Homo-oligomer: A and B are copies of this chain.
Amino acid sequence: MSAPDLHATVAVYRVKSDAASIEARAQGIAIEQSIEMPLEAVRDETVRRDIVARVGAIRDLGEGRFEVEIGLSHLTFSNDAGQLLNMLYGNSSLQDDVELLDFRLDPELLGGYPGRGQGIAGLRARAGAFNRALACVAIKPQGLPPAGLAKLVEAFALGGVDYIKDDHGIADGSFNERVSACAQAALRAADRTGRLTHYVPNLSGSFPVMRDQIARLRDAGLRAAMVAPVIAGLSNAQALAQENPDLAFFAHPTMGGAARIAPPALMKLFRLVGADAAIFPHFGGRFGYSLETCRAIAEALRGPWPHNFSDAIPTPAGGMTPARVQEMLDFYGRDTMLLVGGVLLRAPPERLTAEAAAFVRAVAEYGAAQ
């Protein structure tokens, strides 16, 4: 009767409930995340069969928490990542007893997402770095004029880092000036080092503004950009990646609200919309992620997906220091991009290049020693 593959996408929730109520609560979530009306009021047999979400496994986690799996019909979200998020967690995000723990997208749907992008191999090829982890730094603070940011780019590029990203707060009106100045600074450094460091500007604003920013960064010869998918809207991050298959996209987790959406699930969404590098806070920095969470994030970003769907390089950050390179690479392995930010900037200006070079050397030597 029913077409079982319609509901092959599964949302996994953690729900506060008592044992007597959990089945009804799970059914309530299934309704909320699909038809959002009383089931008995649905007269259309096709809707009942093909649209209404279905309660799957329920597992008692103890202490009044249950893990609940709900099968979502792909007819309700199709190939749009924003609508996927809407169906995974939209209304339920307003209820304080439900967290989105994970989701498993029907592999057959992957073809509709921008999964033929750069991935880890593309980031490596662009950087010419194949046998070691990648090294990334951030330029900041916001408010520094383009010339000041460009100076940082030049100093760090002379130190040999692979990628230099904007701070995610940098979003003022000087995009064109900044991108032009920073791209030229990277080229000046490349003239001396013989190797190009890639500057990754932060996109911000509405979609039309971001589209224009991409045109400008292309004009400046750049081939990578950072986007915050939660703020841009997942559908828009997806559309940008689909329109620009030759660009590498870094995803920033800002507004990820990790306390309600499990971080690895968020990272899967970022990968789904075409991120090639996904930034997240590593254990022991300014954010509270556990090592277990970090391991799950790395798996979400790098684990094999069907149809050769692109991977994304785990990019741990959030208060990291060059002193932690060894420990972090022990943990993540080589298919990782280490991102250090503010700590490098503690050094006096004349030491920036040497500090960056020491960071790059630590990353490279770890690779050589394996």
Contacts and interface: CB of A to CB of B under 8 A. Distances in A.
A259 B260 contact: yes
A9 to B, nearest CB: 14
A31 to B, nearest CB: 9
Nearest to A94: B258
A109 interface: no
Contact of A36 (B34, B91, B169, B233): B169
A257 B93 contact: yes
A259 B96 contact: yes
B42 A207 contact: no
A4 interface: no
Nearest to A341: B37
A207 B239 contact: yes
A86 B204 CA distance: 10
A80 B205 contact: yes
Contact of A35 (B73, B142, B257, B343): B142
A264 to B, nearest CB: 13
A194 to B, nearest CB: 30
A41 interface: yes
B143 A35 contact: yes
A169 B346 contact: no
Interface stretch (A154-162, A176-184, A280-288, A306-314): A280-288
A167 interface: yes
A43 B50 CA distance: 61
A127 interface: no
Interface in A226-275: 228, 231-236, 238-239, 253-260
6 contacts: A41-B342, A51-B141, A76-B142, A91-B254, A94-B253, A95-B287
Given A37-B141, A86-B171, 19 more contacts: A34-B169, A36-B167, A37-B341, A37-B345, A41-B342, A42-B141, A43-B349, A44-B143, A47-B144, A76-B172, A82-B231, A83-B204, A86-B228, A86-B255, A90-B169, A206-B207, A207-B239, A232-B235, A236-B236
